[in-house]
Structure 1
Amino acid sequence: MPACGKSTLGRHIARRTGLRFVDGDRLIEQREGQTLAQLLAQRGYLGLREAEERALLAEDFSGVVLATGGSAVYSQPVMKKLHRLGPVVFIDVTESELAKRLGNFAERGVACAPGTDLSALYAERQPLYEREADVRVAALDRGEQQLAEEILLAAAEWQQRQSDTKE
């Protein structure tokens, strides 16, 4: 979801691990030469999702902490690629907390159908995030450092489970 903390936590984790951080939204903007809001206005939400899919499929994210845009979950090819690279982390934030963080939802450049409000988007995406998540962390009432540590621990446990199933 937008404003759940993907980029902030991704930067913390990258610093902690020494890995490079990539912000998927910035990657799209660099590749397309426009902001997400401009892309959304010109191409519509499906055009923005297509730009995101192209950007995420074109890059090699091995050894990278990647914060995707919230709509990456709609692309099965992208999700398949991400699952091969490492754990897919779902930062679970309540709808009310997202509303506080987002401010003006319409100006954010969120890839959703015209007229969709935060409640509808939350209801649509939440089950997708739950389905695709290898690791899920609840973000309420914890600081960034604590959440980053929790994600790192959960990712290590996930990695161990993957190793155990391959043996």
Structure 2
Amino acid sequence: MTAKTVDLGRLVEVLGSRSIVLVGIMGCGKSTVGKRLAHRLGLEFVDADSEIERAANMTVSEIFAEHGERYFRSGEERVIARLLREGPQVLATGGGAFMSAATREEIAEHGVSIWLKVDFDTVMARVRRRATRPLLQNPDPEGTMRNLLSEREPVYARASLTVTSRDVPHEAVVNQIIDALADHLFQGEDGNVPQSST
């Protein structure tokens, strides 16, 4: 099955008020892929980090520098809990958001979580393009990234769905997500995935 055979209107209908929540390490493509996924499904795209910055009137980097990670994570929990009540939407979360048990519970109640899984080499090539990642502002960003992946991947694996984010056109990853969502949301409806009329 490819995404072309999925009835997108039916997919959104079955989703109801839930949000599609993208989780994963920084640089896995949550924002880039999320925008395209939202466009395909006719939903709003929301970036949790941008909402946190708007609420705090500071950048994520500034919040980390002035108040520390614990302060940031507390605000992140509150903002994501609020956003999840505004669904349906495609919500991209920060790399550490899903590590919070409270946030995972909120997502389980109000959304469908999708882990965009990415390998180390791919993610390092991507994050090197942006020098604004607070957790990588140290002499050994590669070592930090390896540690983050080993710590976080077992938690990301608790997401409802896993889609591999590879260096392929973004639309290919969007198709994978739509296929995975259809398999997940249409389970038990009658054993068949609705076919598009187009």
Mark yes or no: TM-score above 0.5: yes
Q: Does 1:121 align with 2:145?
A: no
TM-score normalised per structure 1: 0.87
Q: Does 1:26 align with 2:50?
A: yes
TM-score normalised per structure 2: 0.74
Question: Rg bigger for which structure?
Answer: 2
1:108-152 residue CA offsets vs partner (Å, 9 max, x unmatched): 13499xx87111111111111012x11111112422001001101
- The 1:105/1:18 distance shift into structure 2, 3 A limit, reads closer
Task: Tell me which residue corresponds to 2:165.
Answer: 139
Corresponding residue SS for 1:88: strand
Higher helix share: 1
On the 8 A contact 2:33/2:170 being kept in 1, the answer is: yes
| Higher RCO (CA-CA < 8 Å; seq separation 6+) | 2
1:4-26 residue CA offsets vs partner (Å, 9 max, x unmatched): 10011110111001001100110
Corresponding residue SS for 1:52: helix
Task: Tell me which residue corresponds to 2:90.
Answer: 65
1-structure distance, mates of 2:129, 2:64: 15
Residue segments in structure 1 that go unaligned for 5+ positions in a row: none
Overall identity of the aligned pairs, in %:
30
Residue segments in structure 2 that go unaligned for 5+ positions in a row: 1-24, 191-198
Task: Tell me which residue corresponds to 1:49.
Answer: 73
Amino acid at match of 1:91: L
Amino acid at match of 2:44: R
Root mean square deviation, CA, Å: 2.5
Q: Shift of the alpha carbon at 1:91?
A: 0.4
Q: Does 1:78 align with 2:103?
A: yes
Corresponding residue SS for 1:26: helix
Corresponding residue SS for 1:79: helix
- The 1:163/1:49 distance shift into structure 2, 3 A limit, reads farther
2-structure distance, mates of 1:155, 1:130: 16
Query: How many aligned positions are there?
Result: 163
On the 8 A contact 1:24/1:66 being kept in 2, the answer is: yes
On the 8 A contact 1:53/1:75 being kept in 2, the answer is: yes
- The 1:77/1:49 distance shift into structure 2, 3 A limit, reads same
